[in-house]
Every structure is written in structure tokens, then in C-alpha cells.
């Protein structure tokens, strides 16, 4: 059975969006994974098909109703991991992405407006994940980011070579610089070693460059995670 993603959203028409193109799109068409966008509005019951209401305690905006959201969740919940995308969540990292790629699938809940009634998140123990410290207008783009990162790791989606390449980030280093033809462009030459045909020298240069770039841009990746080092002796 292939990886199955269900996304609960008020805007199902924006799926598959970019997930329908290129690598993810070919894998989707090829049945290596499946994507279902579930319209939360389909679970509204009143005359006006309301999905939101004013916040208790006052304040601006609207809040998505727990009862409506939970009926949408119930319609797809089958033991798959439940994830709510929110800037309040734990930051999504490659190790969590890789673990999700090993599961049968995920149910992703995308919020809109001011957010979702907390009880709907709590009641089913949704895992809360963030794709970064900024605020989107809805969870849909965050859901697409998560799925794009997961799908490229599914068996058969990338070549075996590319999956090995993945070790680059999983191994905690940023990518070395890439070059292709022409060998000189606007006075800028490709590093000599890459034209040498000396595979050992090329591998050593790439590793050294990956380390240099990581040290310059993301020293936290070399030191181990900030969290794991907090309070360390």
C-alpha cells in the first residue's frame, strides 16, 4: 500500500497545486502516493453551512468550529498520524519528515481565519508542526511543504543516487556548490578540481565546501541542535 495523505481544508480546490507537478506530480500520477483534499464545509450542518463563529472572550476574526472540524477528521481518521499545521507547533525538521515517509500516510488539518477551536486539536491529540517562524494566511501551503518534503523520500520517487545524496542534509551539512556548462561564464570559472576527473579529489573538495558553508551559515547544525545543547555541560 502506498502513502496516503488526506488534507482537511476549507479550500480543497488549491490541491494538488504544486504537488501535481514535477517529481511529486509524477509520483502521484504513478500511484506512488495518493492525495485527497477533504472540504471541511461538507461537514457543516446548519442552513448556512457555517464552519466558523465568533471567539468566546471577544476579539477580532472568526474561529473554526470544533464540531464541524471533528466530523471532517472522523470521516478520514483510520489510525494515520494526525497533524495540525500551525506556527505554534514544533518546527518541522528532516528527521521528522523521514519518519513520516516511513508511515502509511498522514491526515493534515489546515486552519484558516484566527484558528481552530482548541478542543478539536486536543480531543484527538493532534501533533502540531510548524514549517517556520512566520504566519501564513492558512495551513494549506504548510501542508504542501510537509508533503513535498515527505513524498521525495518515498521509495521509487527519486533515483537511488538521489536518495543517497539526501544524506547530505540528514548528515547535518548544507549542500556543496553545484556547477554545469559553460566552464567559464561572465569571467567566472568552474573550480578546476571538478574538471579534473579525480573522483577522490572531487569528493574531498565537496565535503570541505559543505563544511565551510555550514560553518559560515549554520554553525548550529555542526554543533548539534540548539535544543540538544541547551544546558549541556
Residues near ligand 4GY (CB under 6 A) are 85-87, 111-112, 115, 130-132, 134-136, 138-139, 142
- Least distance in angstroms from the C-beta of 6 to ligand 4GY: 17
Nearer to ligand 4GY, 19 or 131 (CB): 131
Q: Which residue is nearest to ligand 4GY (CB)?
A: 111
What does the alpha-carbon distance between residue 60 and residue 80 come to, in Å, rounded to a whole number?
Answer: 34
Nearer to ligand 4GY, 9 or 214 (CB): 9
Peptide bond into 16 cis (omega under 30): yes
Give one DSSP letter per residue of 30-88, joined into a string.
TTSEEEEEEEGGGG--STT---EEPPTT--SS-EE-HHHHHHHHHHH-SSSEEEEEEEE
Nearer to ligand 4GY, 131 or 153 (CB): 131
- Least distance in angstroms from the C-beta of 42 to ligand 4GY: 19
- Least distance in angstroms from the C-beta of 117 to ligand 4GY: 11
- Least distance in angstroms from the C-beta of 49 to ligand 4GY: 19
What does the alpha-carbon distance between residue 150 and residue 169 come to, in Å, rounded to a whole number?
Answer: 14
Nearer to ligand 4GY, 142 or 149 (CB): 142
Nearer to ligand 4GY, 68 or 157 (CB): 68
Phi-psi region of 115 (alpha: psi -120 to 50; beta: other; left: phi over 0): left
Give the torsion through C-alpha atoms of 129, 134, 136, 139, to 10 deg.
0
- Least distance in angstroms from the C-beta of 108 to ligand 4GY: 10
Element (H, E) at 170: helix 167-170
Amino acid at each position: 500500500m502506498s502513502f496516503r495523505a488526506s488534507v482537511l481544508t476549507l479550500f480543497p480546490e488549491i490541491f494538488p497545486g504544486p504537488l501535481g507537478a514535477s517529481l511529486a506530480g509524477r509520483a502521484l500520477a504513478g500511484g506512488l502516493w495518493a492525495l485527497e483534499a477533504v472540504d471541511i464545509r461538507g461537514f457543516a450542518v446548519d442552513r448556512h453551512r457555517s464552519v466558523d463563529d465568533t471567539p468566546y472572550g471577544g476579539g477580532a476574526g472568526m474561529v473554526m468550529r470544533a464540531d464541524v472540524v471533528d466530523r471532517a477528521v472522523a470521516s478520514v481518521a483510520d489510525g494515520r498520524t494526525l497533524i495540525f499545521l500551525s506556527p505554534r507547533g514544533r518546527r518541522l525538521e528532516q528527521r521528522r519528515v523521514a519518519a513520516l515517509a516511513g508511515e502509511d500516510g498522514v491526515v493534515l488539518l489546515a486552519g484558516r481565519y484566527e484558528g481552530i477551536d482548541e478542543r478539536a486539536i486536543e480531543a484527538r491529540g493532534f501533533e502540531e508542526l510548524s514549517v517556520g517562524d512566520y504566519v501564513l494566511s492558512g495551513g494549506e501551503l504548510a501542508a504542501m511543504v510537509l508533503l513535498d518534503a515527505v513524498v521525495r523520500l518515498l521509495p521509487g520517487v527519486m533515483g537511488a543516487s538521489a536518495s543517497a545524496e539526501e544524506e547530505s542534509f540528514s548528515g547535518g551539512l548544507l549542500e556543496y556548490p553545484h556547477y554545469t556548462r559553460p566552464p567559464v561564464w561572465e569571467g567566472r570559472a568552474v573550480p578546476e578540481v571538478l574538471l579534473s576527473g579525480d573522483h577522490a579529489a572531487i569528493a574531498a573538495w565537496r565535503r570541505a565546501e559543505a563544511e565551510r558553508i555550514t560553518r559560515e551559515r549554520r554553525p548550529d547544525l555542526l554543533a548539534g541542535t540548539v535544543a540538544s545543547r541547551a544546558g549541556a555541560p
